[in-house]
Structure 1
Amino acid sequence: MEMTNHIQEKLKEFDLENSTDFAEACAYLVSEKRGKKITIIDLREKSIEADYFVICSASSTTQVRAIAEFVDDELGKAGYNIVHRDIDTKWSALDYSDVIVHVFYNEVRDYYQLERLWEDKDNVRIYEYEE
């Protein structure tokens, strides 16, 4: 329970109405569940589907589900409901309209290489959370 309070307090530091901050908040939540290789892709000038993709890797299928459920639960507590979710053992996608979170099992991420769809490296950055 104390962790949840800490998480909800941290989420208050983000302007969740702003898609850039929302993507940062999602990356933060993923980092809290030990997601790896967290990447934020800015799609604002590339796609009409979403403003941002937040992509991360998980070392087990259990962790894929745990990260996806944690992000969904914490954003739900903050008042942000998911538009659509696909939770699979090796690839989960959480659609919050302006931001879509992709949680991949390591090998699946390596196979699909979602980041390669956007070759312009200016819109891709690695998220690094510092406490």
Structure 2
Amino acid sequence: MDESKKMLEIAYKALEDKKGESILALDITGISIVADYFLITNGNSDAQNRALMEAAEEALEKAGYTPKQIEGNHHSDWVLMDYGDIIIHIFTKESRDFFDLARIWSDGKRVEL
């Protein structure tokens, strides 16, 4: 299994364990040089979004991956966690609906995990 897919699976499981809503994994290889995958979810509260962010960061760190950059924080409407090969987007429900990354990146292939 390639590294980016392994990272995706680790992060997905962490978000799933913290009850991230409507977790969407998109394969964006071939349509973007930004990353191989986007992982998109939302929580229901600041506390849940913080838990989602911390769970993903902790799980990836445990596997030896460190973020290149994290934008936003647990009080933000949108947290972007850039791990190079994967980018994790954690939104509030309202921000997720507003930015609608699934529509913007609709050329990406949905990945079932």
Q: Counterpart of 1:45 in 2: which secondary structure?
A: coil
Mapped contact 2:11–2:59 kept (Cα < 8 A): no
Report 1 or 2 for greater relative contact order, CA contacts < 8 Å, sequence distance ≥ 6.
2
2:43 equivalent among 51, 58, 62: 58
Inter-partner Cα distance in structure 2 for 1:99 and 1:20:
9
Partner amino acid, structure 1, of 2:3? N
Q: Could you tell me how far 1:125 is from its partner in structure 2?
A: 4.1
Q: Which residue of 2 aligns with 1:38?
A: 23
Q: Which residue of 2 aligns with 1:84?
A: 69
Inter-partner Cα distance in structure 2 for 1:103 and 1:37:
11
Partner amino acid, structure 1, of 2:48? Q
Give per-residue Cα distances to partners, 1:106-126, cap 9 Å, x unaligned: 111011101111233x61246
Q: Does 1:123 align with 2:109?
A: yes
Question: What is the percentage of aligned positions where both structures have the same residue?
Answer: 33
Q: Counterpart of 1:34 in 2: which secondary structure?
A: coil
Inter-partner Cα distance in structure 1 for 2:45 and 2:86:
24
Inter-partner Cα distance in structure 1 for 2:13 and 2:90:
13
Q: Could you tell me how far 1:39 is from its partner in structure 2?
A: 0.2
Structure 1: give runs of 5+ residues left out of the alignment. Answer: 1-14
Partner amino acid, structure 2, of 1:117? I
Q: Counterpart of 1:82 in 2: which secondary structure?
A: coil
- After superposing the two structures, state which structure 1 stretch, 73-82 or 94-103, moved more: 73-82
Q: Could you tell me how far 1:19 is from its partner in structure 2?
A: 1.0
Q: RMSD over aligned Cα, in angstroms? A: 1.7
Larger Rg: 1
Q: Which residue of 1 aligns with 2:11?
A: 26
Inter-partner Cα distance in structure 2 for 1:108 and 1:57:
9
Partner amino acid, structure 2, of 1:54? L
Partner amino acid, structure 1, of 2:61? G
